[in-house]
Amino acid sequence: MSGPLGTLSELRDALDAGELTSSALVAASLERAATLGASLGAFIRLREPEARAEAEAADARRRAGRVLSPLDGIPIAIKDNLVRAGEVTTCASRILEDFVSPYSAGVVERLDAAGAIVVGRTNMDEFAMGSSSEHSIFGAVRNPWDSTRTPGGSSGGSAVAVAAGIVPVSIGSDTGGSIRQPASFCGVVGLKPTYGRVSRWGLVAYASSLDQIGAFGRSAADVATVLEVIAGHDPRDSTSLPEPSPPCVEALEADLSGRVVGLPREYFVEDGMAPEVRTAVRAAVAELEAAGAKILEVSLPHSEFAVAAYYLIATAEASSNLARYDGVRYGHRASGVSDLSDLYDRSRSEGFGDEVKRRIVLGTYVLSAGYYDAYYRKAQQVRTLLRRDFDRAFSSCDVIATPTAPELPFRLGERAADPLRMYLGDVYTVSANLAGLPGVSIPCGLADGVPVGLQLLAAPLEEAKLLGVAAAYQRQSDHHRARPPEEA
């Protein structure tokens, strides 16, 4: 087979019908990853011999009638901040460029048990700190719709791997929009589940109270299928929810009759949103209404403080989490040092990139004596107010609709000297992480030849309802069927 791979459901049907083997599918995925994926900077490392052997085993299971799950024999890509025993996990950082994990992440274990075949590790912003996938020792990731533009971040490689037809689904992580924003910029579906729905065991931490693992796909059905595999309680993760994960795929056929879609008045203001984004999102809301949904204005009055609160909490937690990289136990170790203090200083200075250093410095300041109450504590109080805003809004609506990003994909290098402007691009996504909500970005049109995303948010644990609305919208539109040019 040649050309971009189809959707998860299309490939699964072809496998079930005997029209395709997993070996052929994985071979095509690897070939595409080595060519188009390389030109786009999507992958850090491919698992070619391992993936081919796993595909042969999947074909043998299928011939014997022992299919493990809907993902059995399907190629998938994972972000390079999920560890696997015996394999290098870098987080796109020099400080971990030779780190071999002694254990596997909970999500990786679940994918393996389901028969999914990980073909490679995707490129990302270093330690998931960024919104453009430019902060990587392996080079920038490029948007397949326009290779001069960013694919978003930090899970840019995972989004590109799906958008470019290299794999039908992929795994990313979302701390402040790192799945949803790349999904919007690349024209695919990106799901961030409720905090605690998916185990963080083996996810290299950025900000522990905000990080969550999720999925990319071509459709709401694709990401729902992946969620059913990766979700569930994990006793090794103290924040893992004990509630069983509900079946999501069976909820996708529901229509929008009786559903109420909330539009937060604070998000739809004239300033700060590109007119092309406003037009596309308003059109998407009109399509939801035409499909039977009721549109209701809601208020999230503390939204204006979300970005500030997020970057105080996230950087504080990053400062704490990244203190473990000291050049002693594992990771990069500076040579020719004079004493222990010199070892710490030089190992971290050589190992971390500029954006990571910027966030560590900010977070350390936030947590320092005399500033903790003024900044970190105050940000946590704002976080509580934001959660209460959403609780009130969801008492009158089923989901909330917003733009995913306030702008179109920007040019590579355009924000390199303006980190504040980069941070403000997260204005519509960070609230979901602060409040622990599930959120999904779905394609809602093209502008200037690049995609625009619609974000839907739901109350905690309401993934089935959220994906049901997303699926209903996709039955009304063809935006998710658009494909980037083969040579961007």
Q: How does residue 187 score in pLDDT terms, banded at 50, 70 and 90? A: very high
Which whole-number Å values give the CA distances from 191 to 157, 178, 397, 429, in the listed order?
Answer: 15, 10, 20, 12
Residue 177 has pLDDT above 70, yes or no: yes
- Report the length, in residues, of the chain: 488
Q: Model pTM?
A: 0.97
Task: List the domains of the chain with CATH numbers.
Answer: 8-256+436-481 (3.90.1300.10)
Give the pLDDT confidence of 230-281 residue by residue, as tens digits.
999 999 999 999 988 889 998 899 899 999 999 999 998 877 799 999 999 9
**CA-to-CA separations, 114 to 52, 110, 111, in angstroms, rounded:** 16, 6, 5
- Model confidence pLDDT, tens digit, residues 270-303: 777 999 999 999 999 999 999 999 999 999 999 9
Token representation of residue 164: 């470019």
Q: pLDDT digits over 435-458, tens only?
A: 999 999 999 999 999 999 999 999
Kindly list the strands in the beta sheet with 169-174, ordered across the sheet, starting from the edge strand earlier in the chain. 43-46, 117-122, 75-79, 169-174, 212-217, 189-192, 439-447, 450-458, 399-403, 260-264, 294-298
Positive or negative, the CA dihedral 474, 475, 478, 480 is positive
pLDDT at 487: 44
Structure tokens at 130: 């960024």
356-392 residue pLDDT tens: 999 999 999 999 988 988 999 999 999 999 999 999 9
What amino acid positions are annotated as catalytic residues? Answer: 79, 154, 178
Q: What's the pLDDT tens digit per position in 399-449? A: 999 999 999 999 999 998 888 889 989 999 999 999 999 999 999 999 999
What are the tens digits of pLDDT across the range 114-137? 999 999 999 999 999 999 999 999
Within a 10 A sphere around the Cβ of 344, how many other Cβ atoms? 17
Q: What mean pLDDT do residues 324-334 have?
A: 92
**pLDDT (0 to 100) of residue 428:** 97
CB 349 within 8 Å of CB 390: no
pLDDT at 130: 96
| Per-chain mean pLDDT for the chain | 96
Instruction: Give the integer Cα–Cα distance in Å for 309 and 78.
Output: 29
Query: Which pLDDT score is estimated for 2?
Result: 65
Per residue in 377-387, pLDDT (tens digit) is 999 999 999 99
Quick one: pLDDT at residue 329?
Answer: 87
Residue 416: per-residue pLDDT: 84
- At 488 the pLDDT is 40
Binned at pLDDT 50, 70 and 90, residue 44 comes out as: very high
Neighbours of 387 (CB within 10 A): 17
Instruction: Please name the residues in contact with 233: beta carbons below 8 A apart, sequence gap of 6 or more.
Output: 199, 240, 241, 242, 243, 244
Predicted confidence at residue 1, as pLDDT, reads 62
Q: What's the rounded Cα separation, in Å, for the pair 217 and 222?
A: 5
> Cα separation of 81 and 35, whole Å?
23
